[in-house]
């Protein structure tokens, strides 16, 4: 996948590790947003699981041009690396006044990987207002493993966000994030185009790791320490511990720690 290498910084990647998603507001130019409606209406060809991007999306196609936009391509390379494969893609459409909402869920089967993850791109060609519903996301939920819609019985969690955004916004999500499409109470159709990417290289130091924003900088520690309103006072600390384990894998730094949490747990005297 070609890219002009607008790579993420260490702090931005740490924010992704803590929140489970990264927003690129208005990343897609308006002429492509206008084009998207006709592309989605005509339908997109199916893509077999695990197809390389150049085979899944031919040169010049809408999807190919979308993922090769400089900031989108750079962010994807920073998280899943060069030459990812396409797991699947799909256009989710909510008609005006469609009065149903998805239950809160994480996509696919329970996934216990601690050193790798898939990234889901969600693209919104139109402005999404609160009345249009948008995508509900529970920040910081991605490392608390759940099996698909086991969370569907939860109606509201403190700190959840319902996406409102300008046209052309792209969100990149960790595959484990708890989310769900909300109902559309407006008189306008709402589209969301999703592509799931599988990495083909180890997800180690794929972003811009140069100083001053290095992988062990204070800005990174501040991001990885972040708490969220729905976390339990004690059990919520496990989420920070899970982030430390993921950051160790992503930076190839087995000694990285915050407040000695992972070090004491991993201690195995000879």
Distance CA 49, CA 189 (A): 29
**Digit-coded pLDDT (tens) for 232-247:** 988 889 999 999 999 9
Instruction: Provide the mean pLDDT of the chain.
Output: 93
Binned average pLDDT, 10 residues per bin, the chain of 270 residues: 73 98 97 97 94 96 97 97 96 90 87 91 96 94 89 90 95 96 93 97 96 91 96 90 96 95 90
Burial of 95 (0-12, 13-18, 19+ CB in 10 A): exposed
Q: For residue 128, what are its two tokens?
A: 């999404």
The domain segmentation of the chain, as residue ranges, is 10-198
pLDDT value, residue 55: 96
Indicate the pTM of the whole model. 0.94
Distance CA 47, CA 85 (A): 10
Q: Give the CATH superfamily of 10-198.
A: q2cbj1_9rhob like domain (2.60.120.620)
Mutual orientation of helices 70-80 and 10-19 as an angle, nearest 10°? 70
For residues 172 and 22, the answer to whether their CB atoms sit within 8 Å is yes
pLDDT value, residue 108: 78
């Amino acid at each position: 996948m070609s890219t002009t290498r607008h790579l993420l910084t260490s702090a931005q990647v740490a924010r992704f590790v803590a929140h489970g998603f990264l927003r690129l507001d208005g990343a897609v130019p308006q002429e492509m947003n206008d084009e998207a409606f006709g592309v989605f209406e005509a339908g997109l060809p199916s893509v077999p699981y695990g197809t390389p991007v150049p085979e899944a999306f031919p040169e010049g196609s809408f999807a190919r041009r979308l993922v090769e936009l400089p900031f989108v391509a750079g962010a994807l390379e920073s998280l899943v690396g060069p030459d990812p494969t396409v797991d699947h893609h799909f256009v989710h459409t909510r008609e005006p006044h469609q009065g149903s909402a998805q239950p809160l869920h994480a996509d696919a089967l329970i996934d216990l990987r601690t050193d790798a993850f898939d990234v889901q791109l969600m693209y919104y060609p139109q402005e999404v207002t609160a009345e249009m519903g948008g995508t509900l996301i529970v920040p910081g939920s991605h490392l608390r493993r759940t099996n698909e819609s086991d969370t569907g019985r939860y109606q509201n969690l403190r700190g959840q966000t319902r996406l409102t955004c300008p046209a052309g916004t792209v969100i990149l999500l960790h595959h484990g994030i708890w989310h769900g499409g909300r109902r559309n109470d407006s008189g306008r159709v709402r589209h969301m185009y999703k592509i799931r990417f599988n990495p083909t290289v180890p997800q180690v130091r794929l972003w811009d790791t140069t100083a001053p924003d290095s992988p062990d900088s204070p800005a990174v520690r501040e991001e990885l320490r972040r708490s969220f309103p729905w976390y339990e006072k004690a059990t919520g600390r496990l989420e920070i511990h899970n982030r430390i384990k993921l950051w160790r894998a992503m930076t190839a730094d087995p000694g990285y720690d915050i407040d000695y949490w992972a070090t004491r747990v991993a201690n195995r005297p000879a």
